[in-house]
Chains A and B, each alone.
Chain A
Amino acid sequence: MDNNTISIMGNSKNKSAVEKGAEVIFTSCGLLAVLAVVSITGYMIVSGAPALMQVGIADILFGSVWKPASDPASFGILYVILTSVVGTLMAIVIGVPVGLFTAIFLAEVAPPRLAAAVRPAVELLAGIPSVIYGLLGVLILNPLMYKLEIRIFEGSATHQYSGGANLISAVLVLALMILPTVVNISESALRAVPSHLKSASLALGATHMQTIFRVLVPAAKSGIMAAVVLGCGRAIGEAMAITLVSGSSVNIPLPFNSVRFLTTAIVAEMSYAEGLHRQVLFTIGLVLFIFIMAINVGLTRLFKKGEAKND
C-alpha cells in the first residue's frame, strides 16, 4: 500500500521534518509582511523626497497655491493637508459619539433580540464598498447640501457655489464609514470590562446609566481610544468615496467649500501628471504615509498603556 500522507505520529524523522517545514513557512510569511512594510516605506521615501527637496519643503508643505500645470508651477499643499486634518477630526467628532452610543446600546441597553438585529446591520456597513458610499453621496447628499447651500448663501456675493460637493458632504460620508470600526471595537472593549465592576456599581445603588458612564466607559477607555484612533486611520486613508462627494477643488476647508483631501489629491491627478508634478504627488503620498504611520504608532502606544494598566 502506498501511504503518502505525512503523519506526525509516524516516526521521529517525519515529525522533525514537519516541525522544521512549518517553522520555515511561518517565518517566511512573517518576513514577507516585514519586507512589504520596509520596501513600501523605502519606496515612498525614495519617490517622495526628491520633489520635497527640489521644490522646497516650506513651499510644498506651507504653500497655499496648488497650480501644478501652470508656468511657473506652484505646489503648495497646505490646504490639502488642512482639509485632511479638519475633515478627519470632524468625522471623528460626528462618528465617535454615534458609534460609542451604538456600542453602549449593543453591549448594555438593547434586548438580546434587538441587538442581534442591529449588530449585523452595523457589520454590513463595514462590508459596503467605499465607492457605493461615494455614489450615494453624489445622488442623495450632494443635492440636499446644494439646497442648503443656496438657502444659506442667498445673496452672498463672494461665495462660490460648489453644487453641494463640499467638506460637510465628505465629512458625513466619512463619519458613516468609520461607524463600524468604532462600534465593533468599542463594543468589545465594553464587554471586556470585568463584570464584578458593574455588579459592584449596581450594588452600591448606582443607576444603570450612572454605571455605564461612570464605571463601564472609563474602564473601557483604552479600548475606546483604540477605536477612535483606528477610525481616524480609516478616515484619513479613505479616497474613493470622498473623491466623488468633495468637489476636489483645492480650497480652505470651510464647511461649504469644495475641498481636496490628501488621498483625493493623489487619485485625482495621477493619471495625467508627469515630471515634477508626478513627483509632488508622490510627496503627498509620503505626507499621508507619515500621518498614517503616526496614527499607528500612537495606537500601539495606547494599547501598551492599556495593557500595563490592566496588569
Chain B
Amino acid sequence: MKKAGLALLAGVMALGMTACGQSAQETTAAATTAAATTAAAADTAADTEAETAEKAAEGAELSGSITLAGSTSMEKLANAVAETFMELHPDVTVQAEFTGSSAGVEAVLSGQSDIGDSSRNLTEDEKAKGAVENIVAIDGIAVITNTGNTVADLTKDQLIQLYTGQVTNWSDLGGESLPVVVVGREAGSGTRGAFEEILGIEDQCKYANELDSTGAVMARVASTPGSVGYVSLDVLDDTVKAFTLEGVEANEANIKDGSYFLSRPFVMATKGEISEQSELVQALFDYIYSAEGQELVKSVGLITVE
C-alpha cells in the first residue's frame, strides 16, 4: 500500500510538473501537499477514478519505444500524438512511419510495428487475421459552393461528375445556368487525398483552381459564383454554402452515425484487443481516448469518436 501510494504521489507530481511547466524546485513543496490531498480524494472517490489515477502513475515511469506505421493521411494526427506522448513520457520514443494504410495493417499483423494506422475501415480479411479496429478519430469533408447557388443537394454520382468534368454547368443539376468552377487542393494535401479516395476518383479530377490552403479554398468559393470546393468540416462558416449529400447535412452528428458518406475513420489497428497490448501501447491509447487526447484530435481538424 505504501509503495502504491508513493508511486501515486510520484505520478501526480510528475503530471503536475509537466502540465504546469513549472521548475522542479518551485513545485516540490506545493506538489507534496497537493498530491497528499489528491491521494486522499482518490481514496474516497469511485473505483474508476482511482484506476485512472493509478494508470497515470504507471505512465510516468514508462520507458521504451512504440512504432506506428501506416496511412499518410494520418500523418498529422500520428505525429501530433507521438510528439505530445513523448512530451508526457520523456523516456518513451514513439516512431511514426507513413507507408500507406494497407502496409500499416500488414506491419502490425506481422509484428513489425505496434500500431497500424489506417484511414479506412479494416477489411474482413484483415480482421480475420487478428487485426482489431480501434477508431481514434473521424475525418469529415464538406462540399461547399457559393451562397448564390440554387442547387442544395448532390448525390455521390453528381459530385463525381462535377469533379471529373462531366458536368460543367449547374443547369444540368437543376440549378441556374452558371458554369461550374471546380476548386480543389494541391496534390499531396490530405483533404484532397481523402476526397478523391472516398469518391474513387484519384487522379481523374479536373481542377480549375488548385489552392494550397483551406482558407484559400473558402475565400475562392465565397467570391466566385458557381464554384464548388471541399474543405474540412471544422472550418465551415456563413461565407459559403455547404451541400447536403444524398439529402444528409454535413455535421458532426451525421458523420458519427455514418449517414454522411464523405467521411472516413482514422483507425489505429492493433493485433488483438488493446487490453492484450503492452503497457506502453495501452498507455498510448489511454492518452488518445483521454480528454486531452480528444482535444488533440480536434486540434488537427478531426472529429472525435465519443
Which residues of A are interface residues toward B (Cβ below 8 A)?
Answer: 66-70, 138-139, 142-143, 146, 150, 153, 157, 160-165, 243-244, 247-250, 258, 260, 267-269, 271-274, 277
Contact of B179 among A142, A143, A161, A273 (CB under 8 A): A161
Docked complex Cα distance between A139 and B220 (Å): 9
Q: Tell me whether B179 and A69 are in contact (CB under 8 A).
A: no
Q: If A142-B223, A161-B180 touch, does A268 touch B208 (CB 8 Å cutoff)? A: no
Q: Kindly state the separation between the CA atoms of A67 and B205 in the bound complex, as whole angstroms.
A: 11
Contact check: which of B165, B188, B208, B220 meets A274 at CB < 8 Å?
B188
Q: Report the separation of the CA atoms of residues A163 and B72 in the bound assembly, to the nearest whole angstrom.
A: 31
Partner of A248, one of B190, B210, B223, B225: B210
Contact of B208 among A70, A161, A271, A273 (CB under 8 A): A161
* Cβ A269 vs Cβ B186 within 8 A: yes
List the A residue with the shortest CB-CB distance to B187. A69
Nearest-neighbour CB distance to chain A for B226, whole angstroms, equals 7
Nearest-CB distance from B276 to chain A (Å)? 33
Q: Is the CB of A163 within 8 A of B210?
A: no
How many A-B pairs fall under 8 Å by CB?
Answer: 91
Min CB distance A257 to B, Å, is 9
Contact of B224 among A157, A163, A249 (CB under 8 A): A163
The answer to whether B188 touches A273, judged by C-beta atoms less than 8 angstroms apart, is: yes
B145 to A: closest C-beta gap in Å: 12
For A248, the chain B residues whose CB sits under 8 A away are 186, 209-212
How long is the Cα–Cα vector from A160 to B190 in the complex, in angstroms? 25
Taking the closest CB of chain A, its distance from the CB of B85, in whole angstroms, is: 22
Please name 17 pairs of A and B residues whose Cβ atoms are closer than 8 Å in the assembled complex, sorted by A: A67-B203, A68-B188, A70-B203, A138-B223, A153-B179, A160-B168, A160-B182, A160-B208, A161-B180, A162-B209, A163-B226, A250-B210, A258-B207, A268-B186, A269-B188, A271-B188, A274-B188
Q: Do the beta carbons of B212 and A269 come within 8 Å of each other?
A: yes
CA distance A160 to B210 in the complex (A): 13
The one of B179, B182, B187, B208 in contact with A269, judged by C-beta atoms closer than 8 angstroms, is: B187
Q: Which residue of B lies closest to A147 (CB)?
A: B225
Q: Which 9 A-B pairs have the closest CB atoms?
A: A163-B181, A272-B188, A161-B179, A163-B224, A70-B203, A69-B187, A268-B212, A247-B209, A162-B208
